[in-house]
Amino acid sequence: MKNIKQYHYKKVLVLGLAKSGVVAASLLHHLGAFVTVNDFKPFEENPDAQGLLEQGIKVICGSHPVELLDEGFELIVKNPGIPYSNPIIQGAVEMGLPIITEVELAYQIAEADIIGITGTNGKTTTTTLIYEILRAANKQPLIAGNIGTVASEVAQIATSANTMVVELSSFQLMGINSFRPHIAVLTNLYEAHLDYHGSWDEYAQAKINITKNQTADDYLIVNADQEVLLNLAKTSQAQIIPFSTTRYLENGASIKDGKLWFSQEEIIDVSEIALPGEHNLENILAATVAAKLKGVENSEIVSILSTFTGVRHRTQFVAEFNDRRFYNDSKATNILAASSALKAFKEPTILLAGGLDRGNEFDDLIPSLSNVKALVLFGQTAEKLEKIGKKAGIQTIIHVDNVEEAVPTAYELSTRGDVILLSPACASWDQYKTFEVRGDIFIEAVHKLEESK
């Protein structure tokens, strides 16, 4: 970790805790800053705040008082989930105070090169693939960001021998000043998080921030099948390396004659790739480019691509018994993600879906339901999903109370050769705290069923 001096005696407000706020506050305290933490959760219910107070850090809990801005802070480190409409943030913007997220701190202290991955879909799969390939090649990668350990925590242990592989959200990328990954990846860009960003332009600008500080010594890996990304990439000073699933690229990564190529070099036959789904080819191509830029041998790339079956909760293979295959795609919290999962399978599919009702309809899901033979529905959106199931001509539609009940119900509806897929197309919060909890319950129910058969 670099022993930077720029925070000595600087007054810093850390707004919002959770994992990133706790790490940022502790790090800044270590770096010599005068840190104040403000979190909405009451102090007596807030073990994170209690722990920071024990370190000697000033803690204010229970509300976000705008009067805090009168204390002369020189910097705000904002939890990514706190919107810019927050009154403290609005006031700070009017005062011209710099506002960053903890990934900026991670970059400032990191001795390691950084590979940063963002995009609307595929971030986690791409990040994990890059990490696994680099690990197989003994490149000493460290994985961080949205995928798990906070980036500024990982940066504290990273050395120049490591490579930090960091998944980045648009929320995090809005709060960077100098952050500069040596390799940046933009998987794709679709309309998302507009409730936070307010407009498509702001969302797109947040994503392209990943390359704003890159130079000609750096690389931007970009999806060439999206014109919007190619246009955004024109603002980058980095070397652009494209990938495409629809056309052959002599310079870049692409698919031709059923094989994956990188710059006119054959890497692997697509039939040997273990991860299912056309949408995952984008992630695989992007990860392959990143690996090649890090000097990984083809054999090491092939060893991972031929065995990697998915990230937990993202079209994750769970089990196969009695000639039925079960997949957990609990991360599919929107229509686009569920559609991508459904398109990954040619077999007859029983879809488990439903969850939080955000007010949207589901007609855009209909084209992806052609292989779905039955729907097992739960949660607030069950009625809406039944309507689009009927429009799609699905004859068998069953309502259940929850995911645990959905698994044996789906099995009873299935026959040999079927896929049973949890891909809810909705957030989990009507019944489950997180999509991870929902997915774990699905996995447990599958294994319980397997033991009984």
Give dist(CA 150, CA 284) in Å, integer.
24
- Contacts of 422 by beta carbon, 8 Å cutoff, 6+ apart: 327, 328, 329, 330, 352, 353, 403, 406, 438, 439, 442
In contact, 135 and 141? CB cutoff 8 Å: yes
Burial of 367 from C-beta contacts in 10 A (0-12 / 13-18 / 19+): exposed
- Residue 235's CB is within 10 A of a number of other CB atoms, namely 10
| Structure tokens given for 336 | 């686009």
Radius of gyration of the chain (CA): 23
Indicate the angle between helix axes 47-54 and 18-30, nearest 10 degrees: 0
Give dist(CA 255, CA 327) in Å, integer.
26
In contact, 148 and 80? CB cutoff 8 Å: no
What are the binding residues? 119-125
Q: Which amino acid is at 183?
A: I
Total number of residues shown for the chain:
453
Q: Please name the residue that has the structure tokens 């710099």.
A: 98
Give dist(CA 37, CA 16) in Å, integer.
7
Q: Of 68, 2, 59, nearest to 26 (Cα)?
A: 59
Instruction: Enumerate the β-bridge partners of residue 39.
Output: 61
Instruction: Enumerate the β-bridge partners of residue 266.
Output: 261
| Structure tokens given for 93 | 């913007």
Q: Please name the residue that has the structure tokens 């798990």.
A: 148
Give dist(CA 263, CA 275) in Å, integer.
22
Helices (H), 330-434: 335-343, 382-391, 403-413
What are the binding residues for ATP? 119-125
Give dist(CA 166, CA 129) in Å, integer.
12
| Structure tokens given for 315 | 């079209």
Bridge-based pairing of strands 253-256 and 265-269 is unpaired
Pseudo-torsion of CA 175, 171, 102, 156, nearest 10°? -130
**Rounded to whole angstroms, what are the CA distances from 165 to 112, 126, 175?**
10, 10, 19
Give dist(CA 153, CA 28) in Å, integer.
12
